[in-house]
Structure 1
Amino acid sequence: MASLLNLPNELLLFIFKELGDLDDVAHLERSCRHLHSLLEYGSHRLDIFRAVIINAEHHKYDVDLCYFIEANQAYASNYIDKLIPADDSRPRYSKFFEIYDEGVNTLTDEFVWWIACRWQGLRILQDLYLNSSINASFCRSVYTYNEHDTSCTHTCNRLAAEGPLHKPNVGPLTLNTVTSFSSRQTQRFYQALTAIWLPIEALVLARVSVYPTSDEQQIVFDYVTDIWEGDGRGSLSESFDILETYDFVWRFLGRRIFPKVDDYTSWTRNRHFKAHGSSEVKAWDNFVKFTRQYLRPSSIIELLLLSAWNNGSWPSNKPYYLQQLGHADEALGVVEDDTGDPMSPYYSLADIEVGIRRKLRDCGRNSPPGLGEAFDNYREKWWTSDARGKVITWEEDEAFIINRITVGLKRTQPQP
C-alpha cells in the first residue's frame, strides 16, 4: 500500500475513476484513511461516482431511467389533490421522445446520487434471490410458461393456493444463502433489474400523457413495445438474465405481495377486474397481472417489508398507494382527437420472450437452425429444473446458452 500512497493525488483519483463499479470504489476507499479523506474532499466522490457510472456497462439503463422517474414523479404530485388530474397537468407526448428518442443523457449531480442509492438499495432483491428458503419457494412455485395459461381457472386456483410468502429467517450467524454472487453476477442482476424498470417507467409515462391524435399515441406505444422486447439490447446472456429477473421479482415476489384472493379489492377504488360470470380467483389474477405493470423494484421491496411481512397493516390507504404509481389513472393516455381504433396494450414476460426469439434468429445464422423452437421447448419442458433460480450464475458465453437450450431437445434428464 505504501507504493500506491506515494502516487500524487491526481493519479489516485484517476485510478478511482477507472474502477469497475461503485463497490470497488468503497472497498479501495476503506483501505486507508488517506484514500477516504481524498474522496471526502470537495467534489471528488461525486466526480468518481459519475465516471464509474458512465463507464460501467451495468449502468447503461440508469440515465434514461432517471429521466423517466423524474417525469413520472413530477406528474404523480398531482395525485395529492385529485384521483385523476386535469388534462392540463399531464405531460405532453413529446416528453417521451425528449427522454428516449432524442437521447437526453446528461448525468446530473442529483442523478448520480440516485443511481448510487439504487445500486445499494436494490441489493435487497439480490439477497432474496440468493436466500435458500426464498429461492426454494421460487423454484417450487407455479410455473406458467405461457402468460395466458392463467386464463385457465385451474391455473388461477394453483397460483392463489400458494398463499403468502413467509419471511426468511436470517440471523447474524447464518446467511442462509444458496450461493454467493461474484461481483460480475451482482452487476448482471442489477443490470437486469434496471432493464425491466426502464420500460415500466416508460409505460407509465405513455399511459398518463396527452396525445393530439391516435397516430402519436400509437407511435409512443410502439416505442414502449420495443423497449419491453429489448430492441437494441445487448447480449443473449443479458436477455436471459432479464427473463429470469422478471420471473423472480415481478411474477413471483410481485404476486406474493397480494396473496389473498378476497383482499385484492381493498387495493382498488374505481377499477374493476371481474368480468361478468368470471370467478373471484380469476378477478384476483387479473388484478395481479395488471398491477405488476406499475410495480417498481423499490415498490416491491417496500410492499414486501411493510405489508406482506407486516400482517398487511400497511399502507393504511391501499388504493392511494397504488394511485401514486399511476394504477388508477388512464390506461392509454388522453387523446384530444380520438378517432383511431381502440388499443389494449398489456406487457408481460411474453414480450421479453419475443425479444429473445428475435435474438436467437440472429444467432441462428451461425448456429444450428430452429433455435426459436428449441427455446420454446426448453422454456416449456426444462426451464424449471434446469434454469430457474440459476440463470444469473450461468456463463455469459453465447455458445454456452445455445448449447443449453438445444441439448434439451435430446436429453431426458436435466443438466447438473
Structure 2
Amino acid sequence: MVFLTDLPNELLVQIFCSLDDIDDALHFGRACTVINRILKSPEFYLVIMRSIIVSSNTHRFDIRLCHILDLHRELVNYFSAGGANISAYAPTPGTTLYTLNSWETKLHECIMDCPDEIEDEQVFDTIARWQGLRVLQDLYISKELAQKDYIHPKYYSEDIFQRLDLLQNRVTESLEDKPPTSTKPNGQKRTFDAEQTSRFYSAVTCYWLYNEIRWCLSHISYSDWRVPDLLRNTLLAHLDSLTSSPLLFTLDVLSIHEFLYSHLLPLHSRGLADQQPPPTP
C-alpha cells in the first residue's frame, strides 16, 4: 500500500495546486510533517499559491483586482506628481464609437485582457487579502441585523443624524453588555462553511472591482457622459460573465453593498470623518 507521504514532492505539489482555495492548502499542509515541509518550502510555496489563485473559482477576480490596484496607484502617483488633467477622446460624430486613451486602455486590459500570470508580490497581496477579509466576514456574520441597523441616506435625509445617533448608541450599548454573537437555533456560534466563505470572498472582491472601475473612470474628463457609461457597462458585463450562477451571485454582491454602505459606513461615519483624508486625487 502506498501512503500519501510516500509520494514524490512533485506529486504532492500537484495535489496542493489542485485545491480550491488558500485555506484548503493551509489545512492540507497541517496534515503531517512531511506535507507541511512541502508548503513551508520557499521553492514550492509560491508555485502552490500562484496556481490556486490563477485556477480557483474562489479567486477568479483576484488577478484583475491586483492589476487594477496597480493602475490605481499609477493614477495617484501621476496626479501627486502634478500630472495634467486626463481627457478622453471625443467619440466619432454621429456614433458611439471612440478611441480609448492610454489610461482607458490600461483599465480595459485590466478587466478584458487580463493575463493569467501574476508577480510574486501580487501573490502575497492576494494571500494577505484572503486573510484580511476574514475580519470583514466575521463582522458580517457576528450579529443578526434588523432593518433599524441599516441607514439609507436618500430615504432618511431628514432625520439622518438622529438615525445615526440611534445606530451608534445601540452598538455602543451592545459592546458594553457583551451579548452573545449570532447563533444557530441549537446555540452554536454561526460560521460559514467553505462554500459560503468562497461566495463571500468572491462577492467582496468583485464589488471591490466595481468600485475601482468607477474610481478610475471618475478621474478622466469626458465631454459626453454616455462614453464612460458604455465602457463601464462593457467591463461590468465581462465580470458578470465569469460567474456560473449570475442571479445568486448578484444577490451576494447586493448583500455586500447593503452591509458595507448602509450599515458599516454609517456606523463608523463619524470616526472616519475625524481622520485625515487619504493622499488620493
Q: For the residues of structure 1 that align with 2:134 and 2:200, how far apart are their CA atoms?
A: 9
**Structure 2 residue aligned with 1:149:** 155
2: CA distance between counterparts of 1:218 and 1:99? 21
Tell me: CA distance 1:49–1:80, structure 2 relative to 1, closer, same or farther (3 Å).
same
Distance (Å, rounded) in 1 between the aligned partners of 2:232 and 2:64: 13
Cα shift at 1:182: 0.5
Aligned residue for 1:115, secondary structure, equals: helix
Question: Take 2:234 and 2:156, find their aligned partners in 1: how far apart are those partners?
Answer: 25
2:103 counterpart SS class: coil
Distance in 2 between residues matched to 1:177 and 1:163, nearest whole Å? 18
SS in 1 for 2:58: helix
Contact 1:160 1:259 in 2 (8 A): no
TM-score of the two chains, using structure 1 as the length reference: 0.54
Match of 2:106 in 1: 95
Give the distance between the partners of 1:248 and 1:53, measured in 2 at CA: 26
Q: Give the whole-Å Cα distance in 1 for the aligned partners of 2:117 and 2:261.
A: 30
TM-score (norm 2): 0.77
State which of 218, 232, 236 in structure 1 corresponds to 2:226.
218
Deviation at 1:7, TM superposition (A): 1.3
Take 2:176 and 2:134, find their aligned partners in 1: how far apart are those partners? 17
Of 150, 162, 167, 2:166 maps to 162
1:316-345 deviation digits (Å, cap 9, x = unpaired): xx2x32xx3x4xx4xxxxxxxxxxxxxxxx
Tell me the residue number matched to 1:185.
196
AA partner of residue 148 (structure 2): S
CA contact (8 A) 2:62 2:126 kept: yes
Aligned counterpart in structure 2 of residue 252 of structure 1, from 245, 250, 263: 263
Of 172, 176, 183, which residue of structure 1 is paired with 2:181? 176
Matches within 5 A, 1:121-136: 121-131=132-142, 135-136=143-144
The alpha-carbon distance between structure 1 residues 162 and 259, as it changes in their structure 2 partners (threshold 3 A), is farther
> Quick one: distance in 2 between partners of 1:95 and 1:258?
33
Shift of 1:256: 1.3
Aligned partners of 1:231 and 1:31: how far apart in 2? 37
Counterpart secondary structure, 2:146: helix
Give 3-state SS (helix, strand or coil) of 2:269's partner. coil
Aligned ranges 1:278-289 → 2 under 5 Å: none
Aligned residues of 1:63 and 1:107 also touching (Cα < 8 A): yes
Deviation, structure 1 residue 160: 2.7
Q: How does 1:64-143 map to 2 (within 5 A)?
A: 64-78=64-78, 85-87=83-85, 92-131=103-142, 135-136=143-144, 138-143=145-150
Secondary structure of the residue that 2:3 maps to in structure 1?
helix
Match of 1:242 in 2: 253
Checking the alignment, whether the CA contact within 8 Å between 2:21 and 2:59 is kept in structure 1 is: no
Residues of 2 paired with 1:142 and 1:38: CA distance?
46
Q: Are 1:163 and 1:256, in contact at CA under 8 Å, matched by a contact in 2?
A: yes
Report if aligned partners of 1:59, 1:191 keep a CA contact under 8 Å in 2.
yes
Unpaired runs of 5+ residues, structure 1, are 268-311, 330-416
2:97 corresponds in structure 1 to none
User: What is the RMSD of the two structures over their aligned residues, measured on CA atoms?
Assistant: 3.3
What is the percent sequence identity of the aligned residues?
25
Q: Deviations over 1:169-220 (max 9, x none)?
A: 799xx9834311111111111111011100111111111135xx635x6333
Amino acid at match of 1:214: S
8 Å contact from structure 1 (residues 170, 176) kept in 2: no
Cα distance between partner residues in 1 of 2:28 and 2:161? 52
Where 1:103 maps in the other structure, the secondary structure is coil
Counterpart residue type for residue 212 of structure 2: E
1:3/1:104 CA distance change after superposition, 3 Å: closer
Q: Which has the higher contact order (CA 8 A, sep 6+)?
A: 2
Q: Aligned letter for 1:62? A: D
Among 194, 197, 201, the alignment partner of 2:212 is 201
